[in-house]
Amino acid sequence: MDKITLNSKIKDVYEHPVGRDVLDKILMVTKKGRGWITNPVVANIKLKTLKKILHKDFNDKFWDQMLWLLNSEDETPQDLDEKVKYPWWKEAVFYQIYPRSFKDSNNDGFGDILGIVEKLDYLKDLGITAIWLSPVYDSPNNDMGYDIRDYHKIMEEMGTMADFDLLLAEVHKRDMRLIMDLVINHTSDEHEWFQNVLKDPDSDYKNYYFIVPGKEEELPNNWQSFFGGPAWRYFPELSAHVMHTFSDKQLDLNWEHEPMREELYGMIRWWLEKGVDGFRLDVINYISKREGLPNGSKDLSKIIQFTGFENFYYGPKLHEYLQEMNREAFKPFNAFSVAETPGIGLEMAKLLAGEERQEFDMVFIFDHLESSGLTRFDHYQYDLNNLKKFYIDYLNHVGSNYWMSLFVENHDNPRMVSKVTKIPALQKKVAKLLNAMILTLRGTPFIFQGQELGARDQHFQSIDDMRDVEVINFYKKLSQKAGPERAWIHSLTGSRDHARVPMIWDEDQPNNGFSDCTPWLCGDGLKLGLGVAQQEGQPYSVLEFTKKIIAFRAQNVALRRGEVDFVQVGKKNYFAYYRTYKDKKVFVEMNLSPRDLYRHLSLKDYHRSISNYHDGFRTKLSFQSDLKLRPYEVVIYEVN
């Protein structure tokens, strides 16, 4: 791969994997289409000319950082065209459990492991074949388990290691798989490793973290934490700053230090020996920090929001560490891995999860969760055409060696349904449409707990009702700048607590059947018929609809393995595709808008199998009455 310099043309940058992802991000944030770059006039502009044109917005530091980032990758992703292999995880339907809020077995207000065991039959009945468990390790819960104190111990509220062993056995007994959350970019400050540093600042453990000696008022660099404020916490007892890219109780591990890496790999093998089937790796693309920890570009941070990000979100030794971890820990156990990789675009993703790369099986990319240029804390209505564009773009640009994860919700985001519409009657349609989409596209679907019920955002009354460290810090900071009212509007819009409220098992029971005692985080208590007990056996409920599609997918190989062919892609609000495998064919079409939509395909030989509208449902279409799709309608047809 040629080095990118200021003499390179924009089109050279766009040919480069990192360049393409970075430019795509810039186009997204500035709401310009790809056409802008592929336009021959723009494509032939040299970077130094662009630098001149943009000198007001972007200074020298920006260009230095950009060139460094681009030249840190000299490999090109490959899009192969070979026979696709089908390991179990490509045909799985995953379900993400947020254990603290799933089911409380001993009525102390916290969900726990035995609570999960109680509900395994519910998941089995839904058709789930694999579970991803958010962290259950010992933790002071500053970031609800994403701050691990002891990797070998279960958090007290969650139960015991014996409970965990039971869970694993019960999962396997039901022919399901279990993957754990692996948080190894950082540990809690209460982890023994850091405690050892405090006890003996000269011990080797000082190399496990980024500890930079100096005066309190002199920060090592200008990096910002994702949870507000600088990415450095001062420890007077060490006369040093310690790096934390998340909360100040989550200290970043120094992957440069080999003994630290060895300990992590040993810990991973320990869990795999127990029999867990794999891992979801938390912010794993952040582990390699640029040498010297240089300042981030202020200009760049206008685009990516966090100063310093470019120095570690795709760091220089990332691939080296990941290949090593795969070799040392995953490979010997044939363990499955899915990486959470915020900020990564498709080309970088291919270098992280291409089959031949021996790093991860899949990644979670986040480019689709917000409309162009907006963030989770912005109040707006999400346009589903964005999702369509994202999936077409991505699925049309991968080879046989890349497999996509499909998701629209997780524990870090408000409910997608609420982002799309606030109208309760339409929310159920949208919930079904979204579930249908991730269950019928090509890839592995991940359902976040409650998504199968059509769970929506909460009407929290004030910041006191929220528990998440991110939103609490965010609210404090914004209140000072913009006043409490504005701070509250944005906090309510973006809070991760919307997704973290307890599961609704039965709306007729106290605390919705989650616990006999007041939960650690409460929702607004509105009864909207969204509980499991309220939906089970009701054929038109979101739950039964979702179950039906999962069952259909299990029976229909075209939905699991079929190639995807998008049709009429230029038609706004219309999203339609064929899934084809040998002689099996399925057609899926959707109306992405709250208005009727006329469409012009001849569907008369298709057998209509599933739809989120049941009135007037016929398996055969008649030409006169079926020219239009109703608001947020989705229909799945068997074509043969």
Query: What length does the chain have?
Result: 640
Amino acid at 526: L
β-bridge pairing 250-252 and 278-281: unpaired
> Toward ligand TEU, which CB reaches closer, 97 or 530?
97
Scanning 101-109, 141-149, 218-226, 266-274 for contacts with Ca ion by CB under 5 A, the matching segment is 101-109
CA 417/CA 409 separation, integer angstroms:
9
How near is the Cβ of 213 to ligand TEU at its closest, in Å?
A: 26
Closest CA to 4 of 24, 25, 29, 23: 23
Nearer to ligand TEU, 139 or 440 (CB): 139
Residue with tokens 């939103």: 471
Beta strand 336-340 with 278-281 is parallel
Whether 340 sits among the annotated catalytic residues: the reply is: yes
609 binds, among ligand TEU, Ca ion, none (CB under 5 to 8 A by kind): none
Judged by beta carbon, residue 140 or residue 201, the one nearer ligand TEU is 140
**Residue 153 Cβ vs Ca ion, minimum distance, rounded to whole Å:** 17
Please, which residue, 106 or 609, has the CB nearer to Ca ion?
106
**Rounded-to-integer distance, Cα 98 and Cα 96, Å:** 7
User: For Ca ion, how many residues bind (rule: CB under 5 A)?
Assistant: 5
Which is nearer to ligand TEU, 344 or 404 (by Cβ)?
A: 344
Binding partner at 110 among ligand TEU, Ca ion, none, C-beta below 5 to 8 Å by kind? Ca ion
Say if CB 605 and CB 567 are below 8 A apart.
no
Chosen from Ca ion, ligand TEU, none, partner binding at 547 (C-beta under 5 to 8 Å by type): none
Active-site annotation holds for 282? yes
b/e burial code for range 13-46 (CB count within 10 A of at least 16 → b): bbebbbbbbbbbbebbbeeeeeeebeeeeeeeee
Binding-site member from 49, 59, 106, 375 for Ca ion (CB under 5 A): 106
User: Which of the residues 112, 277, 282, 452 is marked catalytic?
Assistant: 282
Q: How far is the CB of 302 from ligand TEU (least distance, A)?
A: 16
Q: Which span sits near Ca ion by CB under 5 A: 83-91, 111-119, 568-576, 581-589?
A: 111-119
Among ligand TEU, Ca ion, none, partner that 108 touches (CB below 5 to 8 angstroms by kind): Ca ion
The CB-of-151 to ligand TEU minimum distance in angstroms stands at 14
Amino acid at 553: R
Q: Which among 104, 163, 189, 340 is annotated as catalytic?
A: 340
Residue 112 in the binding site for Ca ion (CB under 5 A): yes
What is the SS3 assignment for 176? coil
Of 53-61, 104-112, 314-322, 437-445, which part binds Ca ion (CB under 5 A)?
104-112
> What is the Cβ-side half-sphere exposure of residue 56, based on CA atoms within 13 angstroms?
1
CB of 535 to ligand TEU, least distance (A): 28
Distance, CA of 113 to CA of 104 (rounded, Å): 8
Q: Which amino acid is at 121?
A: D
The answer to whether 104 contacts Ca ion (rule: CB under 5 A) is yes
String of DSSP letters for 347-411: HHHHHHH-GGG-S-SEEE--TTSS-TT--TTS--PPPTHHHHHHHHHHHTT--TT---EE-S--T
E strand residue ranges, 265-314: 278-281
- Binds 12: which of Ca ion, ligand TEU, none (CB < 5-8 Å by kind): none
Distance CA 448, CA 65 (A): 37
- Kindly state whether residue 110 participates in binding Ca ion, applying the rule CB under 5 A: yes
> Rounded to the nearest whole angstrom, what is the least distance from the CB of residue 583 to ligand TEU in the complex?
41
Residue with structure tokens 């990118």? Answer: 4
For ligand TEU, the binding residues (CB under 6 A) are: 143, 146, 183, 226, 246, 282-283, 340, 342, 411-412, 470
The label of the residue with tokens 């395909």 reads 601
Contact partner, 457, from Ca ion, ligand TEU, none, Cβ < 5-8 Å per class: none
Of 89 and 146, the one with the shorter C-beta distance to ligand TEU is 146
Closest CA to 154 of 138, 178, 135: 138
Least separation in angstroms between residue 105's CB and Ca ion is 6
Is 108 one of the binding residues for Ca ion (CB under 5 A)? Answer: yes
- In the complex, the smallest distance separating the C-beta of residue 107 from Ca ion, rounded to whole angstroms, is 7
**Residues near Ca ion (CB under 5 A):** 104, 106, 108, 110, 112
The catalytic residues are: 282, 340
